[in-house]
């Protein structure tokens, strides 16, 4: 069973499966990270309705930090974590726990729809650069005046140095 969750105050929509039906009637129990995704506080009202989602064929993920890339086998850790999910919704963030650390990953894109089921499906996964990723700065080469070869420029500088020494 899959459900659509809707926070009417913020107009935030997400999707989820059900682990078990243990909450009192009219109440739901959800993990804290999901409440954060939905911009909910304890006691807030959320609309829940049954949903049918297509099987996912593609998902693009974006880690929040580059240290996720330092995990020795991120693919295996991600596959293990995603077994706990029944669906993914574009715009959501999921939490991956590994080695006593929590890594947050955004769902940037999903196909064939913005919300997809990942139960018993082979889904292609792509990564966007982490949110805190910075391109390495390229070393700047010295600017050579147009029409002069680097060797000519060097001789000119050497000649200027000689002139300075003669004046002194």
Q: What's this model's pTM, rounded to 2 decimal places? A: 0.72
CATH architecture under which domain 2-127 falls: Roll (3.10)
Residue 10 reports pLDDT greater than 90: yes
Give me the phi and psi of 4, to 5 degrees please: -100, 130
Q: Is the dihedral of CA 48, 22, 116, 101 positive or negative?
A: positive
- Residue 105 and residue 62 in contact, taking contact as beta carbons nearer than 8 Å: yes
Q: How far is residue 126's CA from residue 134's CA, in Å, rounded to a whole number?
A: 19
- Domain assignments of the chain as residue spans, ordered by start: 2-127
Q: What is the pLDDT of residue 148?
A: 55
Once rounded to an integer, what is the mean pLDDT over residues 25-51?
91
Q: How far is residue 72's CA from residue 109's CA, in Å, rounded to a whole number?
A: 25
* pLDDT range class, residue 146, cuts 50, 70, 90: low
Average per-residue pLDDT in the chain?
Answer: 84
Burial bucket for residue 8 (CB in 10 Å: 0-12, 13-18, 19+): exposed
User: Taking the CA of residue 94 as centre, how many other CA atoms within 13 Å lie in the half-sphere pointing to its CB?
Assistant: 26
- Residue 110 and residue 116 in contact, taking contact as beta carbons nearer than 8 Å: yes
* Among 19, 21, 16, 20, residue whose Cα is nearest residue 4: 16
């Amino acid at each position: 069973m899959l459900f659509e969750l809707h926070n009417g105050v913020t107009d935030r929509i997400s999707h989820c499966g059900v682990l078990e039906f243990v909450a009192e009637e009219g109440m739901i129990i959800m993990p804290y990270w999901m409440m954060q995704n939905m911009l909910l506080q304890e006691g807030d009202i959320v609309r829940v309705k049954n949903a049918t989602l297509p099987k996912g064929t593609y998902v693009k993920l974006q880690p929040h930090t580059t240290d996720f890339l330092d995990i020795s086998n991120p693919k295996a850790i991600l596959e293990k974590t995603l077994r706990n999910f029944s669906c993914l919704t574009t715009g959501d963030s999921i939490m991956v726990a590994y080695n006593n650390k929590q890594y947050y990953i955004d769902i940037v894109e999903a196909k064939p729809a913005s919300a997809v089921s990942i139960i018993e499906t082979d889904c292609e996964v792509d990564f966007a650069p982490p949110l805190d990723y910075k391109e390495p700065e390229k070393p700047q080469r010295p600017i050579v005046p147009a029409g002069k070869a680097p060797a000519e420029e060097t001789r000119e500088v050497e000649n200027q140095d000689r002139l300075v020494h003669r004046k002194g």
